[in-house]
Structure 1
Amino acid sequence: MPEEHVKIGAYLRALRLEENDSLEEIAAGITTAATLSRFERGETQLSAAVVLKLLTRFDQDVESIQQGYRALNQDNFFQQVNRATVAGKPTLLALAKRQYRLWRETGLIFYRLNQINIMAHNGFSDPSFQTTPAMKTDVMRYLKRIKHWGLYELDLFAATLVLFDSKQLVSLVAGMLLDMPKTESHRTRDQYLWAILTNSIALLIHRREFSEAVRLLTIATSMPVPPDDLYSRLMLRYQQQLLVYHRGKHRAATAAVEQLLASLRLLESPFFAQLLTTSWQRFLKEEGAAR
C-alpha cells in the first residue's frame, strides 16, 4: 500500500471525525462504508475520482481541504527536495515524476504543483509527463483561487514567473500583495515577496511591457523595503533608471546607472556589480534594436 494513500486515508478520517460525520454519510452513493473504513485505515486504495467525490461531502470547499492536507505535508516535501538536490539532478527529476504520478493517482492538485515547482526551479523539460502550457494553466488556476499566500505559494510563484504573460503576471503579483497586510512580517516571506517583485519588473522590462513595469514599480516604491535587503533596494533604483532611459532621458539615466555601478565597486560587491553591468548592456542593446 503506497504511503501517500495511507496518509490521505488518515486525513479523510480526521476530517470526518472533526465534522462528526458517520462512514455511511460520507460514503453514500460513492462507495461502501466498509470500503471507506478500510481506506481510512490504509488497508485498501481508492481512485482519484472517488477520493475527490468523497471530499465534496465535507463542509469546506475542495480547494481548502486540499490546501489543508498540503500544509500537513509541506515540510516533508521540502525535505525531500533538499535531499534530492544533494543527490543530484537525476534524483530531482525522479522526485518530480513521482509527484506527477501521485497527482494522477490521487487527484490532489498540490502533487501536480510540487512537480511543476521542481521542473521550473531546475529548468527540467520532459514532454512525456508535462508541457509548459499545461503547467501554466494549473499554476494559474491554483494561485488565482487561494485565499492566503503562504511560503509554499510564494516559492511556487517565484519558480514559475516566466510562464505567465504580462497581464497574468501583474494580476498574480497584485493578488499576492493584497494578501500581505493580513499576515505578520516574516523574514523568509519578505525575501520571497521582494524577489518576486523585482524579478517581475525585470521580466516586464525585458519583454518591453513598460506600462506594466511602471505599475509594479510604483507599487514597490510605495512599500517599505526590509532594512537588510540591499539587493531589492539596488534593483528598484536600477529599474527606475531603465524606465527613465526608455522615456528618452538617456544622459541622466546613464549617469545614474554608472554612479550606482561605481558605488557597488567601492562597496566591494562584485556580484551585484557584474549582475547590473550585464543587465545594463543587454538593456542598451534592446533599446538600440527597438529604435
Structure 2
Amino acid sequence: MGATFRQLRRGKHLSLTEVSDGIVTASFLSKYERGLTDISFATLTRLLERINVDIAEFVYFDQSAQSDHSTNEQYLHDVSRLYLADNIGALRQLKSTFRKDHEQLLPLFLDLNDAMLDACIASLTQTTLASSSQELIINYLSSAEHWGFYELYLFGNSLMCLPVDQAITLANLMYKRGLTYVNLQTDNVSAQFRILNNLICACAEHNRLEAAQHFLVLFKRLLIHPRQFYETVKYQILVGMIMYLTGKQDAGLNRLQAALIIVKQIGTPALLAHEINYLQRFMPSDVWQQLREAVDRAPSA
C-alpha cells in the first residue's frame, strides 16, 4: 500500500514534507512508501485526507496494482457472468482449470472456490450440492468476522444450494458483519443486490414467502442511485413473482410482463432468457407460455 500512496502523492506533485507535516515525519512517510515500516489505519486516513484521496479510491488503486488480486477478482466476476448466462459448460471448464491458474491461493480458498463453482452448476442443473461443500461454505461464512468482497461473492454464488434456514441466518450475519464494507467499492453493493436476489428466489422456491417479502424490503432500500437501472428492473421482476405466489396472480403477471419487456428492449437476450426460464418453475405451463408469448410480441428497441 505504501507504493500506491507514493504513486498518488507524486501524481499530485506533492512533496514528502508537505504531506507529512503535523502527522508523521517525512522520513517515516518515506519508509512507509518504500515498504520498510507499517502504519496505523487512523494515520493512513489522515494522510489520504492530506492528499485529497478517498479511502475507497485508495483501496481500488492498490488492488488494481496487485495482479494476483485482480486475477482472482476477475475469476469471481466470470463465475457470476457465466451463471447468469446459464453457461454450464463454461463453468465446468473454469472449474477444471481453476486450481492450476490460482496456485497462489491458500488451500482453504481453493476448496471454497471449488465448492462455489459446484454450487453454481448444481443450481443450474437443479441437482443437490454435496453436503461437504455446503458445510465448508457455511462454516467459513459463519466464522468470518468481517464480510468483504470475497465473502459477499461466495455467499451470493452459493446460497441457492444451501439449506434455506442457513441461508437466511447467513444473510443476517452479512448485514451485521458486512455493512462496514458495503460502500467501499461498487462491487460490494452489486454483490449485496445479487445476494438478496438469490435469497428471495430461494425463499420463493421453499415457500418461505414471508421471508421473501422481508428481503424485498431490504432490496428496495439499496436502490438509492438512479444509475441502478438493472437493479430497479430486477426489483420489479421479484415483486411480480412474489405477488403471483401470494395470490395476486393477475397483478403479479402484469408486473412481470412489464419488467421483462424492459429487459427485452434494452437488448440483453441472454439475461431475458435467464429470467423467463427461471419463472417456469413457479407457474403452470400454460400460464408461463402466455407470459413468454406476451413478451415475445412486444417490440424490441
TM-score, normalization by structure 1: 0.57
Identity of aligned residues (%): 19
- Kept in 2, the 8 Å contact 1:132–1:163? The answer is no
Distance 1:259 1:122, change over 3 A: closer
Per the alignment, residue 254 of structure 1 pairs with 253
Distance 1:254 1:141, change over 3 A: same
Per the alignment, residue 52 of structure 1 pairs with none
Structure 1 unaligned segments of length 5 or more: list them.
1-17, 19-71, 125-130
Q: What per-residue deviation string (whole Å, max 9, x for no partner) do you get for residues 65-107 of structure 1?
A: xxxxxxx99728728969x99xx8567436449999x97xxxx
Separation in structure 2 between the aligned mates of residue 271 and residue 91 of structure 1, nearest angstrom? 20
Separation in structure 2 between the aligned mates of residue 286 and residue 142 of structure 1, nearest angstrom? 40
Distance 1:287 1:139, change over 3 A: farther
Per the alignment, residue 161 of structure 1 pairs with 159
- Kept in 1, the 8 Å contact 2:120–2:157? The answer is yes
Per the alignment, residue 96 of structure 2 pairs with 93
Separation in structure 2 between the aligned mates of residue 79 and residue 243 of structure 1, nearest angstrom? 33
Cα drift, residue 274 of structure 1: 3.2
Which SS does the other structure have where 2:173 is aligned? Answer: helix
After superposition, where does 1:218-233 map in structure 2 within 5 Å? 218-233=217-232
**Over aligned residue pairs, what C-alpha RMSD do you find?**
3.9
Distance 1:160 1:73, change over 3 A: farther
Distance 1:134 1:254, change over 3 A: same
TM-score, normalization by structure 2: 0.55
Per the alignment, residue 66 of structure 1 pairs with none
Separation in structure 2 between the aligned mates of residue 133 and residue 151 of structure 1, nearest angstrom? 25
Distance 1:222 1:120, change over 3 A: same
- Kept in 1, the 8 Å contact 2:209–2:246? The answer is no
Separation in structure 2 between the aligned mates of residue 269 and residue 94 of structure 1, nearest angstrom? 29
- Kept in 2, the 8 Å contact 1:97–1:115? The answer is no
Which of 214-223 and 138-147 deviates more?
Answer: 214-223
- Kept in 2, the 8 Å contact 1:201–1:213? The answer is yes
Task: Specify the code of the residue in structure 1 equivalent to 2:240.
Answer: Q
Separation in structure 1 between the aligned mates of residue 272 and residue 115 of structure 2, nearest angstrom? 32
Structure 2 unaligned segments of length 5 or more: list them.
1-37, 39-65, 80-89, 124-128, 288-301
Per the alignment, residue 148 of structure 2 pairs with 150
Separation in structure 1 between the aligned mates of residue 272 and residue 74 of structure 2, nearest angstrom? 35
Separation in structure 2 between the aligned mates of residue 164 and residue 262 of structure 1, nearest angstrom? 32
Per the alignment, residue 110 of structure 1 pairs with 109
Residue 192 (structure 1) aligned with residue 195 (structure 2): no
Which SS does the other structure have where 2:179 is aligned? Answer: helix
Separation in structure 2 between the aligned mates of residue 268 and residue 227 of structure 1, nearest angstrom? 20
After superposition, where does 1:229-244 map in structure 2 within 5 Å? 229-244=228-243
- Kept in 1, the 8 Å contact 2:141–2:151? The answer is yes
Cα drift, residue 186 of structure 1: 1.0
Separation in structure 2 between the aligned mates of residue 238 and residue 278 of structure 1, nearest angstrom? 13
Residue 212 (structure 1) aligned with residue 215 (structure 2): no
Q: What per-residue deviation string (whole Å, max 9, x for no partner) do you get for residues 130-158 of structure 1?
A: x8111111211110111111112122212
Separation in structure 2 between the aligned mates of residue 279 and residue 136 of structure 1, nearest angstrom? 23
After superposition, where does 1:1-291 map in structure 2 within 5 Å? 75=69, 78=72, 92-93=95-96, 95-96=98-99, 109-121=108-120, 132-183=130-181, 184-285=183-284
Task: Specify the code of the residue in structure 2 equivalent to 1:262.
Answer: I
Which SS does the other structure have where 1:182 is aligned? Answer: coil
Cα drift, residue 193 of structure 1: 1.4
Task: Specify the code of the residue in structure 2 equivalent to 1:258.
Answer: Q
Per the alignment, residue 12 of structure 2 pairs with none
Distance 1:78 1:285, change over 3 A: same
- Kept in 2, the 8 Å contact 1:245–1:254? The answer is yes
- Kept in 1, the 8 Å contact 2:240–2:254? The answer is no
Distance 1:111 1:223, change over 3 A: same
Which of 146-155 and 174-183 deviates more?
Answer: 174-183
Aligned length: 204
Distance 1:252 1:144, change over 3 A: same
Distance 1:187 1:120, change over 3 A: same
